[in-house]
């Protein structure tokens, strides 16, 4: 389905005036962003990065990144 | 929050997500939490459920039947993937490269999210443990949390399996009592 679409039709969907279409795309993107953050935070921690260095790279506070990911990593046995 | 769950309870939570993914549901609802508990057979909740005739295969069949009847479609996350395709993002390609670089399972899109009902159950799980002076949440607290709400797809599944929820609750409380003794 994607391969049949021209760049012009893609741009049309991205900027669709139908709120349902536009908002659905925003949610889908947010979920991708969250998944990529999780993936790369895990990779950084596995490579020995400190929470502070991850926070600096993500341009958020150490507390935010720790709150969001530390518990999950503990719960899944990825760190103690 | 999950860091305060016991190993068995974590196992049940992971099993819930696996159930949702396997059934092609882009959400983790109370029904998936029930399946996760029933599937964690060597846990307190798993044993109590089995004693009441809730086996994971039967519960899964009922779940699919009820959700299908309610018009819930097993999309396998297709709408989210399609929405990204309209933005020119190829999820299959990201998946392939992530699997190559980080191993299978590191990247899951779309990762099913907890429904509001399931979030309530998880909060009630914490309350059930804390009100009994427990620091850690076990599968028994998850099952009590599931029953505490009084509504939700999980309770519909239990009703379809003709499980008496009051008796189920009593059985869990008995088990907790015996553990405490």
Pairwise CA distance, residues B42 & B148, whole Å: 23
Distance from CA of B162 to the nearest CA of A (A): 34
Range of the structural domain that residue B150 is part of: 2-74+111-180
Pairwise CA distance, residues B24 & B137, whole Å: 28
Preferred mutation among A35, A38, A69 to probe B, highest tally of B CBs within 10 A: A35
Q: Is residue B106 part of a domain?
A: no
Q: Is residue B96 part of a domain?
A: no
pTM over 0.95: no
Q: Do A71 and B1 touch (CB under 8 A)?
A: yes
Nearest chain A residue to B11 by CA distance is: A76
Q: Do B107 and A35 touch (CB under 8 A)?
A: yes
CATH number at residue B40: 1.10.1780.10
pLDDT of residue B115: 95
Using 50, 70 and 90 to split pLDDT, how confident is the model at A71?
confident
pLDDT of residue A3: 45
Cα of first residue to Cα of last residue in chain B, in angstroms, is 27
- CA dihedral sign, ordered B147, B150, B156, B161: positive
Residues 6+ apart with CB under 8 A from B23: B32, B60, B63, B64, B74
Q: Give percent above pLDDT 70 in chain A.
A: 82
CA angle A42, B10, B100 (to 5 degrees): 35
CA angle B68, B53, B8 (to 5 degrees): 90
Nearest chain A residue to B108 by CA distance is: A35
Alpha helices, H only, B23-112: 30-39, 44-51, 56-69, 78-85, 91-102
Q: Is residue A2 part of a domain?
A: no
Query: Could you tell me if the ipTM is greater than 0.95?
Result: no
Q: Is residue A41 part of a domain?
A: yes
Is the CB of residue B24 less than 8 Å from the CB of residue B64? no
Q: Do A10 and B10 touch (CB under 8 A)?
A: no
Helix (H) / strand (E) containing A51: helix A51-58
Model confidence pLDDT, tens digit, residues B127-149: 999 999 999 999 999 999 999 97
Using 50, 70 and 90 to split pLDDT, how confident is the model at B122?
very high
Tell me, yes or no, if B84 comes closer than 8 A to chain A by beta carbon: yes
Window 38-77 of B, Cβ < 8 Å to A: none
Average pLDDT, chain B: 94
Pairwise CA distance, residues A44 & A33, whole Å: 16
Q: Is residue B104 part of a domain?
A: no
Q: Is residue A57 part of a domain?
A: yes
More confident site: A32 or A4: A32
Q: Is residue A1 part of a domain?
A: no
Using 50, 70 and 90 to split pLDDT, how confident is the model at B87?
confident
Q: Is residue B26 part of a domain?
A: yes
Mean pLDDT on B13-32: 95
pLDDT of residue B150: 77
One-character DSSP codes across B102-131 = H-TTS--TTPPEEPHHHHHHHHHHHHHHHT
- CA dihedral sign, ordered B19, B21, B23, B27: positive
Q: Give percent above pLDDT 90 in chain A.
A: 54
Q: How many domains does chain B have?
A: 1
Q: Is residue B138 part of a domain?
A: yes
Q: Is residue B98 part of a domain?
A: no
Q: How many domains does chain A have?
A: 1
The DSSP bridge partners found for residue A56 are none
Q: Is residue B42 part of a domain?
A: yes
Q: Is residue B85 part of a domain?
A: no
Q: Is residue A80 part of a domain?
A: no
Using 50, 70 and 90 to split pLDDT, how confident is the model at A11?
low
Q: Is residue A56 part of a domain?
A: yes
Q: Do B80 and A2 touch (CB under 8 A)?
A: no
Pairwise CA distance, residues B147 & B154, whole Å: 9
């Amino acid at each position: 389905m994607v391969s049949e679409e021209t760049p012009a039709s893609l741009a049309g969907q991205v900027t669709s005036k139908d709120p349902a279409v536009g908002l659905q795309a925003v949610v889908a993107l947010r979920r991708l962003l969250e998944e990529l953050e999780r993936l790369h935070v895990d990779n950084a921690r596995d490579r020995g990065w400190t929470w502070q260095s991850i926070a600096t790279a993500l341009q958020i506070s150490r507390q935010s990144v720790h709150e969001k990911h530390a518990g999950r990593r503990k719960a899944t046995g990825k760190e103690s | 929050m999950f860091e305060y769950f016991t190993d068995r309870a974590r196992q049940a939570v992971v099993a819930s997500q696996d159930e949702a993914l396997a059934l092609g549901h882009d959400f983790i609802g109370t029904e998936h939490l029930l399946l996760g508990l029933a599937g964690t057979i060597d846990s307190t909740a798993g044993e109590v459920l089995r004693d009441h005739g809730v086996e994971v295969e039967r519960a899964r069949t009922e779940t699919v039947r009820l959700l299908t009847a309610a018009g819930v479609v097993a999309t396998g996350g297709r709408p989210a993937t399609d929405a990204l395709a309209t933005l020119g993002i190829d999820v299959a390609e990201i998946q392939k490269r992530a699997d190559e670089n980080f191993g299978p399972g590191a990247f899951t899109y779309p990762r099913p999210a907890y429904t509001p009902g399931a979030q309530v159950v998880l909060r009630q799980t914490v309350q059930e443990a804390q009100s009994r002076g427990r620091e850690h949440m076990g599968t028994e607290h998850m099952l009590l949390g599931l029953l505490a709400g009084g509504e939700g797809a999980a309770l519909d599944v239990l009703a379809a399996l003709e499980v008496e929820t009051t008796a189920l609750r009593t059985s869990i409380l008995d088990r907790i009592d015996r553990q405490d003794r």
